[in-house]
Chain A
């Protein structure tokens, strides 16, 4: 009986958080959201909701997800922003399970001849009971005519609330680091908080809120559905720039291919693709 009451309380807390995200976060005019990271076409298919899901792109989404790693995993990603030539991003991530937890190494490149932005990083995540912690070190390099660079860090948490609910928290660059000596230009801090709800072995529902300094709160929700074995349909929505997104995925024992398309209010459609390979999986 006591247990039941506790359970109910926990459910209430979960719901308060969910509604908090869905309602209170979203009452402001939302101008931009963060599209800086190669989060994989699976996350983008679900409206760019990723903080509470662990997958091959945990390196970019939430390093705590690396704790769940079981095989050596390679992830490759490419997109073309708003279908405009030159506005593309490419990324590769290699994740390796170690004795306790997992390590991820990644690289991403965005831009064209006159402007490029590159990120390199190494991440580590592991379990502590029902909580997983993760962190990542990033090297960020931007070049226009001049070049600026910095080293910063990510922190992430995944919490298994019960068998169905997972809470995720992630902060990128918590100290709002500046580039070199010039402290007028600083890399922004981005905080995300989200929940995943495994409704059944076929259906996953997830939602998250994202806050970037000087930008409004962004709230998103997404669904992943497995109608038949190996095959996924995804859809997502949000009040930021990613108003709607749709995605498809095919997964075999060794390989997963995901595609997605997201729609931006003014700029149009962005196609994305990612490929995941499990290298030592039997």
Chain B
């Protein structure tokens, strides 16, 4: 025991010395940069726009009032996306084993924590207790913080769907204007109380008229109170549940398969407030988490909301004299768009009620969860008549159960979830992260999700749509030198049943390799290679039967980001892609871009620019690239066709408590005379996008 203590003292002294030397010699990267880099990688395989307001908000709160590292919980740490699930576990495990941290630099002693990670989370952690631990009634007015964010955006060029001629002809059209409007108010008192209202209207939706007489198309709100006696968390309004590995219940955003392979292990933190604008994947009602004792938490929730779906009334014959009428739910719509008459007709057609709970046991090395939920719709779901629809869910209600676990043992972290639904169908996710050495860590992640398994709120890590998949990912991160790391994974998967566009059982693999070189704090380079094989119906026109062809995709990327001065940050990239299907000819594509970001601290102005050229043979060789957006927004558009793209973002502070962002982006194509199709068609070869955002913090 004494020896241990002495060892620990030495350790602390060492890190104190080392830590301070390190901090005095180099300029650490700002934590935002690192978080952005990570999100960039995490998101960069989808064509999406994601709103991370909530996460960054939470981080801002922590920054103002850092968390005590000796008391910080898994839940709080999970907001720091730069930390992998494994790193969070390591900290908790290390603290349990070695006792309280004596210095913040002792973080370096935790296995899996490198100096970059520590710099990234340093602003949010402290050794002291926060000054405002206890709040009085009057603090609600004086100590709380109010945030208001307003955002508006639109394409500049007119799109076909807004033409007046469609109205006179009575054809399908967008009923509203082309602006996307967003407003959010948030009140917070530390992490004690949170209250928020979010309102949004998508482009093309009506505003204060027609189908939206109340103004916005979507409203969301919540009131959350934490830590009052045995009540750990109480939420009234919109919330989400995130359990286990996402097999039975996972609302909201989830990280899938990414270059950060250890993030595949999810950290189901249970109950959370919902402030985002996805109109389908959240719960509306009330939820409470009770701390039964130090090791046991119990969450129970009830939710009822209206969701979008196509519901048809069908007439059936019982006998020659009597008929019956029945409503059938054909398709769920999760896009949240209510722009055309059809979309408006499908809005809120179905009532969904959900009841559920979670019992969580946690100690120093083990987390064990028991989850259950029951979902009831007022209309029965029917399945389609395609062969691949055979295993789809039908009916009005479904129960779902699962048990999830995480267990740290020496240098191993075992995790997983086993789920069963009320129909007796079982699915499982199991994995292990093993730190073989400080230079090598390995992950094995297996999923078994049969085609007939279903849960309304499933969202596990998968290659394809979530069901009908079995696969194993094997990956490792090798760090032979502190400036160099190599991440490689091989994921193989089989789809046992038919899928859309795949008329037979099929299989494939995904091979990824990336070498990252950080010669110093201001420069970072990486070389990335990816090869993916999947099977699809042949496009051979002479084929009598649709046999499967292998489709092989390659991506090859070289990226460099570097600071030329403390206020100037540059990023350059070249990416090549290749696509080949069966015996067809291979198609190629490339994207090349240069980013410049510079700050003028005196004038409180921040400027970002990108210029990109791209040429891809077809949509199959399209290339995704992350783009800087107004704060908290992340857009990852696909570059396709032949053309150029640029954008600029300006951020300035006209007043102390007000931030304003302006963004203008334009793509010009040289291989086409019209852009997009259908209602989104633009007559011309360019598309421009303008957005403005303001934030007021009181």
Contact = CB atoms under 8 A, between A and B. Distances in A.
Interface of A: 11, 15, 18-19, 22-23, 26-27, 29, 197, 199-200, 202-203, 205, 221, 223, 225, 235, 237-239, 243-244, 246, 263, 265-266
A19 B434 CA distance: 24
Interface stretch (B42-50, B72-80, B101-109, B476-484): B476-484
| Minimum-distance CB pairs A-B, first 8 | A237-B490, A203-B436, A203-B437, A199-B437, A243-B492, A200-B437, A225-B436, A199-B439
A223 B490 contact: no
B375 interface: no
A23 B554 contact: no
Contact of B481 (A11, A221, A238): A11
A225 to B, nearest CB: 5
B643 to A, nearest CB: 26
B533 interface: yes
Contacts of A199: 436-437, 439-440
Contacts of B436: 199, 202-203, 223, 225
Interface in B420-457: 434, 436-437, 439-440, 442, 444
Nearest to B527: A23
Contacts of A26: 511, 513, 529, 531
A243 B490 contact: yes
B605 interface: no
B492 A23 contact: no
Contacts of A244: 472, 474, 490, 492
Interface string B463-496: 0000000001010101011001010111010000
Contacts of A18: 486
A27 B480 CA distance: 24
A203 B508 CA distance: 30
A205 B507 contact: no
Secondary structure at chain B's binding surface: helix, strand, loop or mixed? strand
Contacts of B145: none
B515 interface: yes
Contacts of A246: 474
Given A15-B484, A22-B486, A265 B492 contact: yes
A251 B480 CA distance: 28
A235 B436 CA distance: 12
B507 A27 contact: no
B531 A239 contact: yes
Contact of B556 (A11, A15, A27, A200): A27
Contacts of A197: 480
A203 B437 CA distance: 7
Nearest to B486: A22
Nearest to A19: B515
B552 interface: yes
B507 A265 contact: yes
A197 B580 CA distance: 35
A228 to B, nearest CB: 10
B509 interface: yes
A225 B476 CA distance: 13
A11 B480 CA distance: 10
A235 B474 contact: yes
Contacts of B554: 27
A265 B492 CA distance: 8
Given A19-B527, A223-B476, A235 B437 contact: no
B580 A29 contact: yes
Contacts of A235: 442, 444, 474
Nearest to A263: B492
B529 A223 contact: no
Given A237-B474, A239-B511, A244-B472, A223 B440 contact: yes
Contacts of B488: 22, 221, 237
A243 B531 CA distance: 12
A27 B474 CA distance: 20
A216 B50 CA distance: 40
Nearest to B411: A227
Nearest to B410: A227
A223 B444 CA distance: 13
Contacts of B489: 237
Nearest to A18: B486
Nearest to A224: B436
A100 B488 CA distance: 40
A136 B480 CA distance: 35
17 contacts: A22-B486, A22-B529, A23-B529, A26-B531, A27-B529, A202-B436, A205-B440, A223-B476, A225-B434, A225-B436, A237-B488, A239-B490, A243-B492, A243-B509, A244-B472, A263-B472, A265-B533
A197 B479 CA distance: 12
Contacts of A221: 476, 488
Given A235-B474, A244-B472, 16 more contacts: A22-B488, A22-B515, A23-B513, A23-B527, A27-B529, A27-B554, A27-B556, A199-B440, A203-B440, A223-B440, A237-B489, A237-B490, A237-B511, A239-B490, A244-B490, A263-B492
